[in-house]
Structure 1
């Protein structure tokens, strides 16, 4: 028994990944290409155990309508799309045609490209094009940190009762305790805002760099 989450060594992390739907060839190839092509940005990709969790959560919630803000090279979107039924839909928002060009190839390889609608442009603008009704089952936010409050404000009113929003990087490698830059300060403030938002019940999990799950009333 322990009173807090245990730290993960490299060996323990490898054990954890291997014992929870370990990455298949498509995910391994996507991770390898991202590292080879974008070595300085590869850490923007979700962790392998987080990808497995996103697929599991999408299936568990019975998601049919999902949104992702911040797609990068496509691992998180691939994971979410794999959890959708054949008639499910994932709308992805990103600003980079270059990065998402890598994603498109792996979506097609995994046979989920027909479930994904990619929209290129600032999400602060393109999110407003979504229907103004409570229809979304799931949303994943993993984009520019200072934009989180804007994305939250657009998504919460569009979530069906019981819908879930997942928000990545809410621990900022521990720097939310003592913010060191604008992104750290933005996330620390955002976390406080989520805690005070009476429209949701939220839990923060120590997965990867911290993941908040918020269930909308």
Structure 2
């Protein structure tokens, strides 16, 4: 829905897993639209590719196998800054800060960066839980709340999702 409302044509997904969200994005992109889908696990990519093929959207999806941070840095080096409309992040939680900083360079002003799992099963609100992933997400949430480069809305549905609009 967000991709449609935005009229997005160029999107990025960081963390594909089975391809559910990237498929949803690709299905609503215009025929000329493109999605860069970053995933380090080849088994996950093979599952996702089967769904892209079955849905007839493979031509819209540019799969990048490897570390997402490396793929995003490469896109920046190739001059793709400020050229993407939408990004969705559901990958290694301890990397959220780095992904966010890289995506801020790639997404245009007015574009959206959506981060999944920001409530982390409610653990981020429990000060007694201090494992590395929970602390990382907690710190990330705090930092984007204070970040003047974006306006945000945290949607407390499921495991929580933060929608960031680049200013």
Q: Shorter-chain TM-score category? A: over 0.9
Q: Structure 1: give runs of 5+ residues left out of the alignment.
A: 1-55
Partner residue, 2:138: 188
The 1-side partners of 2:30 and 2:141 are apart by 32
The 2-side partners of 1:201 and 1:65 are apart by 21
* Structure 2 counterpart SS, 1:101: helix
TM-score by length of 1: 0.73
Matched, 1:151 2:96: no
The 1-side partners of 2:26 and 2:45 are apart by 15
* Structure 2 counterpart SS, 1:107: helix
TM-score by length of 2: 0.94
Q: Structure 2: give runs of 5+ residues left out of the alignment.
A: none
Deviation at 1:180, TM superposition (A): 3.9
Q: Which has the greater radius of gyration?
A: 1
Deviation at 1:215, TM superposition (A): 0.3
The 1-side partners of 2:132 and 2:58 are apart by 35
* Structure 2 counterpart SS, 1:170: coil
* Structure 1 counterpart SS, 2:124: coil
Deviation at 1:57, TM superposition (A): 1.3
Matched, 1:63 2:63: no
Where does structure 1 differ by over 4 angstroms across 4 or more consecutive aligned residues? Answer: none
* Match 1:128 to one of 73, 98, 102: 73
* Match 2:39 to one of 87, 94, 99: 94
* Structure 1 counterpart SS, 2:85: strand
* Match 1:114 to one of 55, 59, 71: 59
Partner residue, 1:216: 166
The 2-side partners of 1:177 and 1:207 are apart by 15
Deviation at 1:159, TM superposition (A): 1.2
- Higher relative contact order (Cα pairs below 8 Å, separated by 6+ residues): 2
Deviation at 1:132, TM superposition (A): 4.2
The 1-side partners of 2:80 and 2:29 are apart by 22
* Match 1:204 to one of 129, 143, 154: 154
Question: Over the residues paired in the alignment, what is the CA RMSD in angstroms?
Answer: 0.9
Deviation at 1:109, TM superposition (A): 0.6
